[in-house]
């Protein structure tokens, strides 16, 4: 059950494992446990079995209590990390999958960086066609998978945290993995014909490859708007053309999204779903234009409208996907869904009031012909009381000192408009 949950909900998005290999380990364990009596020979299988089960336990309702035990069991077999090889990178990425939803485990930023550096050390960022290789077909495909998964996590957190990329795309010529089912790849060769067009029948790799393509676009967005020389545009027309091209690539990416893979169990993640594609398309629009909105006073109105619609969709869709469902959030989406964490709720509530009053100020400036009401209203008094309560709740969590000045001024500066006046 736990491994099925992993391969139906995580693997279609982060496809760095080879399911037939894992199922072979699993079958051995179930049929002849004595085969694992040799601690040296069994170290690698037992590590991957425990880690996959640990991630599965995190996402299957009612099994979260097992996740930490399984994770701890995996630590009994650290030998897989001792050699700089493909399996070591897969092991690091297993840790990353666990850290996506866990309070424990190393940071995703550090894990993706470590995995990426090991990929580079082994030459996985370079084309497999560069020369003769002693690697078998399965190894070749998995080396492409682990590199692009590590690169994808790295660029996602570089954008989110404002940090530099672990590797620039101009240093990479590795091909994307073949769009083919795991069952058609072995050490002996490739069986069957890979999917090569958007209208072909999706495979177990189709969604993962489409995610890799999006991360490539994100890396280009990062270079355009986040790098140290992003503001040193010597040619404005060329710079503008880059934005236009990236937007066209995003639209093309959205239009060619494959159908979600077939599912036999319940949906426990939004990975590889139509909702995920739409959310990340909207998020990409915001990443692309955010700096332009802040710095360029001549930004066209249609870009402002696109960004407003994208932000609105992200807020509404994340709430719809996570609140009241069995799907467990990743850390990167938790702050949109603060209902899942009581300690974060005051920040959410204060933000919503701030946003509402900001919108109200904008509306009031555009309605100069209508006089504003004088003096505080009942809504003002109730809102002030509510904000005071929220600040008290923040104080209880021990995080007030960061916001003392901001919130003290904010409470005294409420305008006359209530939250219901503007729908965000």
Structural domain includes residue 325: no
Same domain as 154, residue 64: yes
Structural domain includes residue 368: yes
**Between 371 and 406, residue with greater pLDDT:** 371
| Mean pLDDT, the chain, whole residue set | 82
Structural domain includes residue 73: yes
Q: How many domains does the chain have?
A: 2
What are 132-173's pLDDT values in tens digits?
678 899 999 999 999 999 999 999 989 888 889 999 999 999
Percentage of the chain modeled with pLDDT above 90: 49
Average pLDDT of 14-37?
90
Average pLDDT of 347-366?
70
Least Cα distance to 207 among 422, 11, 60 occurs for 11
Structural domain includes residue 277: no
The domain in which residue 119 lies consists of 2-188+203-228+235-264
What are 195-205's pLDDT values in tens digits?
998 888 999 99
Same domain as 19, residue 144: yes
Structural domain includes residue 296: no
Structural domain includes residue 334: no
| Distance (Å) of CA 371 to CA 41, 196, 366 | 80, 63, 12
Structural domain includes residue 37: yes
Same domain as 220, residue 357: no
Same domain as 43, residue 184: yes
Same domain as 35, residue 183: yes
**Between 326 and 46, residue with greater pLDDT:** 46
Same domain as 382, residue 254: no
Same domain as 109, residue 14: yes
Structural domain includes residue 415: yes
């Amino acid at each position: 059950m736990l491994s099925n949950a992993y391969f139906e909900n995580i693997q279609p998005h982060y496809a760095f494992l080879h399911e037939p290999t894992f199922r072979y380990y699993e079958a051995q364990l179930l049929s002849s446990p004595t085969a694992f009596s040799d601690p040296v020979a069994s170290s690698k299988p037992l590590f991957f079995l425990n880690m996959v089960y640990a991630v599965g336990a995190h996402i299957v309702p009612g099994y979260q209590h097992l996740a930490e035990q399984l994770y701890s069991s995996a630590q009994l077999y650290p030998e897989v990390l001792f050699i700089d090889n493909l399996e070591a990178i897969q092991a690091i990425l297993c840790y990353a999958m666990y850290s996506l939803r866990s309070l424990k485990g190393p940071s995703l930023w550090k894990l993706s960086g470590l995995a990426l550096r090991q990929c580079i050390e082994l030459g996985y960022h370079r084309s497999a066609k560069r020369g003769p290789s002693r690697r078998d077909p399965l190894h070749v495909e998995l080396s492409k998978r682990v590199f692009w998964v590590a690169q994808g996590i790295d660029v996602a957190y570089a954008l989110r945290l404002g940090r530099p990329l672990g590797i620039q795309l101009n240093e990479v010529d590795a091909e994307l993995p073949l769009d083919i089912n795991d069952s058609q790849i072995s050490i002996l060769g490739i069986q069957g014909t890979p999917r090569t067009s958007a209208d072909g029948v999706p495979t177990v790799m189709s969604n993962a490859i489409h995610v890799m393509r999006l991360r490539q676009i994100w890396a280009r967005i990062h270079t355009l708007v986040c790098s140290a020389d992003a503001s040193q545009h010597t040619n404005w027309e060329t710079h503008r053309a880059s934005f236009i091209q990236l937007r066209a690539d995003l639209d093309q990416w959205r239009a060619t999204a494959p159908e979600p893979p077939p599912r036999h169990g319940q949906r426990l993640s939004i990975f590889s779903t139509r909702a995920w594609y739409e959310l990340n398309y909207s998020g990409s629009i915001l990443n692309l234009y955010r700096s332009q909105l802040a710095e360029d006073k001549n930004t066209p109105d249609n870009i402002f409208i696109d960004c407003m619609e994208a932000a609105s969709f992200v807020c509404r869709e994340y709430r719809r996907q996570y609140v009241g469902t069995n799907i467990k959030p990743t850390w990167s989406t938790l702050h949109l869904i603060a209902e899942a964490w009581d300690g974060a709720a005051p920040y959410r509530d204060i933000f919503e009031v701030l946003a509402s009053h900001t919108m109200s100020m904008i509306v009031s400036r555009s309605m100069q012909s209508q006089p504003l009401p004088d003096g505080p209203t009942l809504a003002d008094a109730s809102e002030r009381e509510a904000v005071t309560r929220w600040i008290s709740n923040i104080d209880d969590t021990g995080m007030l000192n960061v916001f003392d000045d901001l919130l003290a001024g904010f409470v005294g500066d409420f305008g006359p408009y209530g939250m219901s006046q503007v729908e965000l």
